[in-house]
Structure 1
């Protein structure tokens, strides 16, 4: 007769082990009820083997060991003679998880969260885990302001001890903020403080800004901004005593109350430096932006800490810490400030690594490095190297991180991660611009040719106004110390009537060679020589001024040219910069022996200045002046400046501003340009909404101004004047540039603000291969 010992779970106590009348020696172990779990898994978790003595303590340990595996929801131990019988009921496995009703949180993110908590197909199902997940999901929706969110789950039993889980989500509406009240402020009015908040009560544009949607994370950020506002103005005892967020019964309206204690304003009594400073103290003191008598400012304190740590980092103390120790004096509301410096060990760079440059050669990146391997790590040189990579214009983004070398305390690796982008101005055989029409031809125009860092232009371009055969090559590192060399040969025919200029055309061939010499990290000097031969062909109704010049100087000109220029740039990127400035000053001179003798002086400058985290002010100007010298009586018309269109004054047709030459038959006049150019632009760059990746796109609202003048107007010209800023033309509008695989695609919508009767306007303008 079989004898079974029932589990105390069902008879003796609430503990899951067998009531034993007496102990026994196990001769065999039998496991019943297994479906997916192997016997080996049971025996590995079981602290009993054949030959062991079974008593109450052994049974307790055995059942605990089996339950700890998490595979079983019920365990029974019994005795059949000297055989220990283990009967188990396995927990079901999860066959599938379906989620319905979620819109605010992606399904993939929800499934990833469930998987991290142990709920995924193939895993063991536990009701307690599912309940914890339900509460966690509800908390996530509450954090988004969806107080009415409900999470319900359905468990469907399936064959072979499996279950299907279905999670039904009712997200509800995001509760909107109806009122924000700050209590306890006597120094600053509510309106001033509420301007600091990202969260705002419902307003006219809330549907677009979503600033009235309550979020716990956003409120935490607003409270931190409020705290910083007071601490930056000397109120070191400022405190947010409590915050109440209440919700209406329908869970759709939120009311926020913030209780604060302002305290007294404190000033700086004295400033001290302490610790192992390493750098001469006078140098460090120059970096301290808080002075005796100043109002205490946490922002200024933090900025000083950053400056001091960065200065130490420039000398290799990469992991230096600077901590501020403020000592308040209640009697006169002052603070003694001590900056305590802990430089740590001087750190050296083991390796400089590059990641992501699938096209650009390592050598091209490495020659831009100012942080060398084997030398001490300099924060300035590491950042300077990153900036130089950004300025190349080959990459959408450049990031740098320093990684400690395992097993050492004084070495790091510097890793630069780059993301490449199209680097050709027009890298296809098709282009278009409104000034030149359809541009056809086989050509290569690459600033990073085959990843070498060299600039190459090769091929044929033809449009309704111009045909160009050209080969150009530029090596920015002709020598290892950064001397550059470039040369260019070309043949060009231009029909100026098709470009909205006067009725003539030119055939030009020539070439040039240019060298550049670096003066500093941000500036260089360039100089070069070239020659070109120009043949002018006039039409039947050419402008009088052009015909008179040809009658005097002829229609073929061989000119020898010398140019010299100075360039400076602190721009953070080579393409679509967002901060810094650049400027260039150049002189072009026709040398003695040329058929035409003249000179031209040009200045270009631009400035990018961030206004906010998302807005940038862009200012730029282009100034030019030219005149004849020697035997040439006046500035050659083929060297004139023109204005209007992209890169100039948008909203006016290309090249149409300024003086206009009267034709022979006196029936019409054509733009002929002038010897003085004045142009300027002010833009506010902003991110386009609904576009996540803004690195290859730029949008801006702009105000353009400019015109062309002539210092020697003739009677055969209309609309001609000497330099007169009152004659500047203005336009305003909106523009977008997108860096595509074919090059920059640019368009603008502009309104001419003060067009004259002789001016030609154009609202919509676009081009492939040109940025604004």
Structure 2
């Protein structure tokens, strides 16, 4: 006969005394198991065969089985001296269905549910489901979605399984109706509210989402508010309370911040304490806080960082500098003490490179400014990293300085690089708006066989030009960084076929050159070059007077030997699409004695990137050039003239349309004036670089709002150009260098580095138009870099 000893849940939660006869267990039998193994039950059961049991031990056994979480019901029975355990297993989760979630991705929700114990195949517990539901509601409330609602449904399935359905009504983010700062008397409300990332609803809120309340954003705003006061001397400023109230419909939020400003404090004196390790006057020169100055936490932090970095440059890599303020409430001043703990000087044990599967170690090691065996200089380690990044061989460069195990004064310097293609063997097709179809084939390698040498063999062909070239450069021809390069080329151009009104002629050129580069310092170089070039000119179908006059005076075939010298400087943070730093270059090129023509060119170019915010950058750029003939050459060779307009010049004007205009040939007095360039180039502009909305990866995109200004002038105009000629021609304004003769245009542009090549386009409208210039609202190019 079977007797029920303990009902399931009652046994687990028993508070009243239950009387059952004590007996000795001769066997244990478990009924109702489906997925759970008997071994798991016996492993958790604190009873064994042969033991004497009573009420207390049965209660303990039931509780132990419940603690496994496997069962939703347990009953203990007795058949003679056999203990019978009847269990009902908890169901397993057959699946989870999510509905209605948009603000939080389904993958993220499922991952969070799994971490909480709710996943397909897991044992279902309703308490866990309810806890997850409450946690999700808290997350939505933290996003400002106070009207969010979550409903759960447990659908029974065959074989003791359940399907969980979670229906989410995310609601809308409560918009901020009003932000009020209470207690401020020193700074006006507008100044303080401008510090907040959170804003009340405005015209741009649709794009910025800055009127949607979020707890994390408010915490950041409060910290910015606190820092604003601390940086202006109010060291006792306190945010006493913050209230966030919600309207009954849960659609609007009112934020009130209560502050106590306190008094403004100034710096009484500045002291240095600890072991300075470097001359005190050098440390003093780094201290930004001065006596009588308004106290600023930002100034203290910046000073600590400067001193730490200075000590790091001397090898004290683990130096610690703490700024300790001591307020004097009686006169509202602060004594500031910078406590310096330099620690031990650290020396570099080894410099290691990781990730360079193709590039030879020597190529990386020669860029090092930090040497093995020397003390670990923060500046030299960082400078070495910058030099590796400027090679252009790597997507990313990271550096670590772990301490050598077993020592307290040695570190290893580990550079980890991620290589990227530094060259190509390719065929390419491009299209330029003015050049037409561009076909090209090239073998180019900036890191030839991992040696760091640059080698290129190229062929480019368009409807008006054919160009062959070969170039080689060894950037470390000598160990101290002197570079050696040489090149040969062959080029034919027929401007009759160009899709702009360039003057009608063809030019065949071939030549070779050699150049040397010499580093002055980390950012500047000198360069020297020699070249020889043979040119052959042929008048085109409609040659202008200047071409015929030049050929009549100088001939149509020239061998010129050229020498060049230049200086360049670059602190740009990237080789392509930079966002910080500047670059500039000055070069002079002149023909040498023995050349058929005598002329020179002096050029200067510069650009400056100034970050406005984390995502917006201001760029200034300019290109200046002056060229002229000398000696027996009567006039600057026309095919060496500068031309203006289009990409790389003044956008919004047709390429080559800026500059002086030709005069007609003697045998064709009615010939239309054509762009003829000039010997003076004045180009400049300003751009604002901004991120494209809704595009996550901006690394291959550059979008700008620009204002381009410039023109090409000719200081050797003929009288006909200066004064005008018959046939309705006007005098040429490009013969006179004047601000009123500059072209200018404003517009927007985009450059996109695609798999086919760089795609650039712009739309621009002229602001000031010289009389002879041709405007062009839309301009684009594919397959060429600008």
Shorter-chain TM-score: what band? Answer: over 0.9
TM-score (norm 1): 0.94
Q: How do 1:101-120 residues align onto structure 2 when only pairs under 5 Å count?
A: 101-120=100-119
* d(CA) in 1 for partners of 2:495, 2:425: 23
Q: 1:682 aligns with which of 681, 686, 706?
A: 686
Cα deviation, residue 771, structure 1: 4.4
- Name the structure 2 match of 1:697: 701
SS at match of 2:677: coil
Larger deviation, residues 682-691 vs 545-554: 545-554
Greater Cα offset, 61-70 or 137-146: 61-70
Task: Describe the shift of the 1:487–1:205 C-alpha distance in structure 2 as closer, same or farther (beyond 3 A).
Answer: same
Q: How far 1:578 moved relative to its partner?
A: 0.5
1:748 is aligned to 2:762: yes
User: Equivalent residue for 1:379?
Assistant: 378
Please provide the CA RMSD for this pair.
Answer: 2.7
Query: d(CA) in 1 for partners of 2:47 and 2:174?
Result: 59
Q: Any idea what SS the aligned residue of 2:735 has?
A: coil
Q: Which residue of 2 aligns with 1:591?
A: 592
Q: Is the 8 A contact 1:317 1:345 kept in 2?
A: yes
Matched, 1:760 2:774: yes
Q: 1:478 to 1:33 in 2, by over 3 A?
A: farther
User: 1:736 offset after TM fit, Å?
Assistant: 1.0
User: What SS does the aligned partner of 2:745 have?
Assistant: strand
After TM superposition, the structure 1 = structure 2 runs for residues 46-445 of structure 1, keeping only pairs within 5 Å, are: 46-55=45-54, 58-59=57-58, 61-347=60-346, 364-372=363-371, 375-395=374-394, 397-400=396-399, 428-445=427-444
C-alpha distance 153-540 of structure 1, shift in aligned 2 (>3 A)? closer
CA 1:86–1:222: 2 relative to 1, 3 Å: same
Q: What 5-or-longer segments of structure 1 have no aligned partner?
A: none
Alignment correspondent of 2:630: 629
Native 8 Å contact 1:620 1:682 kept in 2: yes
Query: SS of the counterpart of 1:237?
Result: coil
Distance 1:12 1:733, change over 3 A: closer
For residue 534 of structure 1, what is the aligned residue in structure 2?
535
Which is further off, 689-698 or 622-631?
622-631
Q: Secondary structure at the match of 2:642?
A: coil
Aligned counterpart, 1:490: 489
Q: Equivalents in 2 of 1:13, 1:213: separation in Å?
A: 48
Q: SS in structure 2 opposite 1:698?
A: strand
1:373, distance to aligned residue in structure 2 (A): 5.4
Question: What SS does the aligned partner of 1:5 have?
Answer: strand
Say if 2:241 and 2:257, in contact at 8 Å, map to a contact too.
yes
Secondary structure, counterpart of 2:176 in structure 1: strand
Q: Which moved more, 1:392-401 or 1:652-661?
A: 392-401
Q: Secondary structure in 2 aligned to 1:750? A: strand
1:9·1:17 contact (CA, 8 Å) conserved in 2? no
Deviation at 1:764, TM superposition (A): 1.1
Q: How many residues align?
A: 771
Matches within 5 A, 1:646-725: 646-664=647-665, 665-666=668-669, 667-717=671-721, 718-725=732-739
Instruction: Output the CA distance in 1 between the equivalents of 2:17 and 2:310.
Output: 69
In structure 2, C-alpha distance between the alignment counterparts of 1:682 and 1:223, rounded to whole Å: 36
Moved more, 3-12 or 724-733: 3-12
| Residues 696 and 389 of structure 1: CA distance in aligned 2, closer, same or farther (over 3 Å) | farther
Q: Counterparts of 1:353 and 1:101 in 2: how far apart (Å)?
A: 52
* Structure 2 residue aligned with 1:14: 14
Instruction: Give the equivalent residue in structure 2 for 1:571.
Output: 572
Over 3 Å counting, the alpha-carbon distance change for 1:360 and 1:769 in structure 2 is: farther
Cα contact 1:9–1:16 (8 A) shared by 2: no
In structure 2, runs of 5+ residues without a counterpart are 722-731
Relative distance call for 1:416 and 1:33 in structure 2 (3 A) is farther
What SS does the aligned partner of 2:662 have? Answer: strand
Distance 2:99 2:405 in 1: 47
Which segment is superposed worse, 268-277 or 68-77? 68-77
Shift of 1:278: 3.2
Choose 424-433 or 691-700, whichever is displaced more.
424-433
Alpha-carbon spacing, 1:17–1:293, altered in 2? closer, same or farther (3 Å)? farther
What is the deviation of 1:18? Answer: 8.4
Q: 1:670 to 1:13 in 2, by over 3 A?
A: closer
1:505 is displaced (CA, Å) by 1.1
The answer to whether the 8 A contact 1:347-1:411 is kept is yes
Using the TM superposition, give the Cα deviation of residue 142 of structure 1 relative to its aligned residue in structure 2, in angstroms: 0.9
TM superposition shift of 1:725: 3.5
Counterpart residue number, 2:724: none
- Distance in 1 (alpha carbons) for counterparts of 2:744 and 2:425: 29
Shift of 1:28: 3.4
For the residues of structure 2 that align with 1:54 and 1:343, how far apart are their CA atoms? 70
- Report deviation, 1:526: 1.3
CA distance in 1, matches of 2:720, 2:18: 119
SS in structure 2 of the partner of residue 669 of structure 1: coil
**Whole-angstrom CA distance in 2 between matches of 1:42 and 1:348:** 61
